[in-house]
Structure 1
Amino acid sequence: MTRSRYAVAAVFLVHGSVTGSFATRVPWIQEHSGVSAGQLGLALAFPALGAALMMPLAARVSHRLGTRTALRVLLALWTLSLVLPALAPNLLTLCAALFVYGGTAGMADVAMNALGVEVEHRLKKSIMSGLHGMWSVGALVGSAIGTVAAHAGISAQAHHLAAAIVLTIAGLAVCQFVLNIHPEEDEEPPARFTLPPRSALLIGAVGFCAVFAEGASLDWSAVYLRDILGSSPGVAAGATTGFALTMAIARLTGDAIIDRFGAVRTVRTSGVIAVIGGLLVVLAPNAVAAMAGFGLIGIGVAVAVPLAFVAAARSGSNASQAIAGVATITYASGLVAPSIIGGIAQASNLTVSFVVVTVLTVALAVFAPVLRTTGGRLPADKSH
C-alpha cells in the first residue's frame, strides 16, 4: 500500500506539472494568437466546457479498463494535450485546443482523486492534502521552468513540446504502480452522465470558491503583474511560481495541521488568510506586494479541495458518485474562473476581477463546517 501511495503521489506531481507549464505561458499564448483580454477570457471558458462534458466519463473508463490502465491512458492524453494551446494562431483554434486541454485534464483528475481517496481509506490516515501538495509541487516545477523559458525568450511551442514528451514518459512509468481496482463481475457500469448527489452540492460549493481563487490566480497572476503593475515578463511569471510555492508548502504540511486542529478550524483559518491575500493583491502598490498577496491566497485555499474530496466520500452511500460530483463542480470552477476573470477585466479591469476573487474566499471561512470528515465509510473494492 505504501508503494501505491507514492505512485499516486507521483501522478499528482505529473498532473500539476502540466498545469504549471501552461499557466506561466498564458501571456505568450495570448500574444501569439492575437486575442484581447476579453477574447482570452472567452477561450479560457472552453476548458470548463470540455471538463464538464468529459469528467463524468472518467468513472466509466475506469470501470471498463480498471483503474491502472484507465489512469495511464487518461494521464497520457492530458500531458500530450499541453502542446495544443501554443499552436493556436487565432481565437477559434485556441478555443478548440483549450476544449481538448480541459476535457483530458478533467478525466485524469477525477481518476487520480478517486484513487487517492481509496488509498487514504485503506491506510486509515489523512494523505489527501499531501497528495494535492504533490500536485502543487508539480505546478511549482512546471511554472518555475516556464518562468525560466519566458525570461530566456523561448517560445511556448518549443517549451510545451519538450514538457509534454517528458511528462508523458514519466506518467506512463509511475502509473505502473498505482492500485489496480476492478469492479465486481456483476457490477453495473456507471452512467455516462449523472448529476451530483445532493450531499455533494454544498461541499462542492465550498470547493468551487477555493478552486475559483486558485484558477484565477494561476492563469491571471502573471497577466495581472504585467498589465496592472507594469512588470517584465520574467517578474510577472514569477508571481505564478510564488503562488504555486505557497500552495505546495501549505498542502504538504496540511495533513499534520488537519489531524491536530480538525478540518473545520483549519479551513476557517485558511479562509481568513485567503481574504487577506486577496485584499493585498487588490491594494498592491507594487509587484512585491502583489506577489505576497498571491502567496497568501495560495496558503488560504490549499487544503479546502483535498478536504472536499474526503468529505464527499463520506457524505452519501455512493462514494464514487459523490467524488465525481464534487470533482466536476470544483474543477469546472477552476477552468471557468479564468474566463470570468477575463470578462470582468474586459468590462472594467483586472483589479475589479480580484475583488470578486476576494469576496469568494470569504465563503471558505463561513461554510467550513460542511467539510467535516469524521464518520462514514467507503465501500470496499477488489484490487489486483
Structure 2
Amino acid sequence: MSELVGTRTPRRARWAVTVYFALTGAGLATWTARIPEIKRDLGLDDGQVTLALFSVAAGSVLAMQVAGRLADRFGSERVMGPAGVLLAVSLLVPGFAGSLPVLLAGLLAFGAGHGTVDVSMNAQALLVQRRYGRPIVSTFHAMFSVGGLLGAGAGALAAHLGIGVGTHFAVVAAVTGVLLVVARRALVESEHVRSGPQARGGRGVPGAIVFLGVLAFFCSLGEGSMADWSPLYLSDVLDSGPAVAAVGYAVFSAAMATFRFLGDRLVSRFGPVALVRGCGLIAGVGLGAALLVHQEVAAIIGFGLFGVGLSCIIPQVFNAAGSRDPSRSARDLAQVSTLGYGGLLAGPVVIGLVTQSFGLTVGLAVPAALALLVAASAGAVRPRS
C-alpha cells in the first residue's frame, strides 16, 4: 500500500494514462498517414490495401476479446506494459516489410497490440477516475484524438521531407516504446482482480452491455462515415473545390477533439444521461438541418455540430460499460469496443450502399438519424446504483 500511495498517486496515474491514449492515437495515425507510400513501394493494388486494412481490424477485434479477460484477471496495469511494447515493436514490420505476407503479419500484430492497449487503458482510465472521485474520462479520449492529429501531421511532414517509411516508423516505435514502458510504472493497481474459478465464470454478455455496444456502433458509424464521405458530399453534391472539400472533415475532427476536453466539466454539471441526450440531439439535428439547407457553409457548420455531438457520447458509453460491474470491467469494455470498432469499419460501407440507391444526401442522413436514436436511448448510460 505504501508504494501505491507514495509513487502511484492518482495524479501520476492520470498523466500515465494520458500518455497511453495519446501515443495509441499517434501510432495508429502514423500507419494510416504512410499507406500511400507503402502501397507504392510494395506495388499493391486496391484489393491488397483493403486486405492490409482488414488485418489491422482483425488483429484488434480478436485481441480485444482476450485482453478483457486478461485485464480482469491480472489487472489492467499488468496488461498495458507488454501490450504497449507489442504496439511499438510491431510498427517496425510494416515500415520495413518487403512483401505483402510480411506486411499482413506485421499489421495483424500491430492491430493486436492496439486492441489490447485500447481495452486495458480504458479499464485503467475508469480506475483512475474512481480514485479522483470526479469525471476525467472524456479528457483521455480527447488526448487520443490529439495524438491522432499529431501522428497524422508528423506523417505528412515526414513524407514531405522525403524521410523513408522505415526510418519514420523506427523513430516512432522507439519513442512510443520508451514512453509507454516508463508510464507503465505510474499506473494504479486494479481493485477487483479475478482469480481461480471466479476468473473463468460469467462467460455470457449482459444485455445492457450489448445495448451500450449498439450505441457505440451507431456513434462510430457516424465517425467513420465523416472521414470518407464528408469531403465527397462537398465536392460532388455541392460542387465545392478541393480546398473547401477538405475543410469539412477538418472542422468535424477539430470540434470533436475540442469538446472532448469540455466533456468532463459538462458531465459533472449535467450528468451523463442529460449530456448524452443533448449531444445526440446536437449531432442529429445539426447534421440533418445542414443536409436540408444544401449549402457549403451550412454543410461545414453541420459537420462541426456533428463532431460536437459525437464528442462526449463514446466516453460516457465506455464509462457506463466499465462501471457496471468492476469485477468484469475490462471484458465489458472489450465487448463495447468491439462493436464500436465494427461501426467505424462499417460506416463508409453502409453510407456507400445507401448512396448508390438514394444519393449521398440521404446516405449522410443515416448517421444523423442514428444520433437521434442515441439521444432517445440516453438512459442506458445512467450510473448503476
TM-score by shorter chain over 0.5 = yes
CA distance in structure 2 between the partners assigned to 1:157 and 1:223 by the alignment: 32
1:137 paired with 2:146, answer yes
CA distance in structure 1 between the partners assigned to 2:163 and 2:120 by the alignment: 33
Partner SS state of residue 242, structure 2: coil
Higher relative contact order (CA 8 A, sep 6+): 1
Question: After the TM superposition, which residues 13-32 of structure 1 pair with which residues of structure 2 at under 5 Å, given as runs?
Answer: 13-28=22-37
CA distance in structure 2 between the partners assigned to 1:238 and 1:163 by the alignment: 28
Structure 2 residue aligned with 1:328: 338
Cα deviation for residue 114 of structure 1 reads: 0.7
Instruction: Answer whether contact 1:7 1:174 (CA < 8 A) is retained.
Output: yes
Structure 1 residue aligned with 2:267: 258
Structure 2 residue aligned with 1:379: none
Structure 2 residue aligned with 1:381: none
Cα deviation for residue 239 of structure 1 reads: 6.3
Unaligned 5+ residue runs, structure 1? 377-384
CA distance in structure 1 between the partners assigned to 2:277 and 2:103 by the alignment: 38
Structure 2 residue aligned with 1:119: 128
Structure 2 residue aligned with 1:231: 242
- Residue identity opposite 1:370 in structure 2: A
Cα deviation for residue 194 of structure 1 reads: 4.4
1:163 paired with 2:172, answer yes
CA distance in structure 2 between the partners assigned to 1:90 and 1:354 by the alignment: 37
Partner SS state of residue 185, structure 2: helix
CA distance in structure 2 between the partners assigned to 1:100 and 1:297 by the alignment: 33
Structure 1 residue aligned with 2:15: 6
Cα deviation for residue 227 of structure 1 reads: 8.7
Unaligned 5+ residue runs, structure 2? 1-9
- Residue identity opposite 1:323 in structure 2: L
Structure 2 residue aligned with 1:67: 76
- Change in Cα spacing, 1:67 to 1:348, as seen in structure 2 (3 Å) is same
Cα deviation for residue 82 of structure 1 reads: 3.7
Structure 2 residue aligned with 1:178: 187
Instruction: Answer whether contact 2:127 2:190 (CA < 8 A) is retained.
Output: no
Cα deviation for residue 260 of structure 1 reads: 1.2
CA distance in structure 1 between the partners assigned to 2:161 and 2:233 by the alignment: 20
Percent identity reads 32
Cα deviation for residue 177 of structure 1 reads: 0.8
Instruction: Answer whether contact 2:72 2:194 (CA < 8 A) is retained.
Output: no
Q: Using the TM superposition, name which of 119-128 and 59-68 deviates more.
A: 59-68
CA distance in structure 2 between the partners assigned to 1:284 and 1:164 by the alignment: 44
Cα deviation for residue 110 of structure 1 reads: 0.5
What is the Cα-based RMSD across aligned positions, in Å?
A: 4.0
1:192-244: CA deviations, max 9, x gaps?
A: 99453212111111111112222344577678889986637xx9877665544
1:289-348: CA deviations, max 9, x gaps?
A: 766554433222111111112212343574423233222222343345456567778999
Give the one of 343, 360, 365 matched to 2:375.
365
TM-score (norm 2): 0.78
CA distance in structure 2 between the partners assigned to 1:40 and 1:260 by the alignment: 45
Q: Between Structure 1 and Structure 2, how many residues are aligned? A: 371
Q: Using the TM superposition, name which of 167-176 and 250-259 deviates more.
A: 167-176
CA distance in structure 2 between the partners assigned to 1:181 and 1:317 by the alignment: 9
Question: After the TM superposition, which residues 1-384 of structure 1 pair with which residues of structure 2 at under 5 Å, given as runs?
Answer: 1-28=10-37, 34-36=44-46, 43-62=52-71, 66-85=75-94, 96-150=105-159, 156-181=165-190, 187-188=196-197, 190-191=199-200, 194-218=203-227, 231=242, 242-275=251-284, 276-277=286-287, 280=290, 293-316=302-325, 318-320=327-329, 321-337=331-347, 354-373=364-383, 375-376=384-385
- Residue identity opposite 1:249 in structure 2: T
- Change in Cα spacing, 1:203 to 1:186, as seen in structure 2 (3 Å) is closer
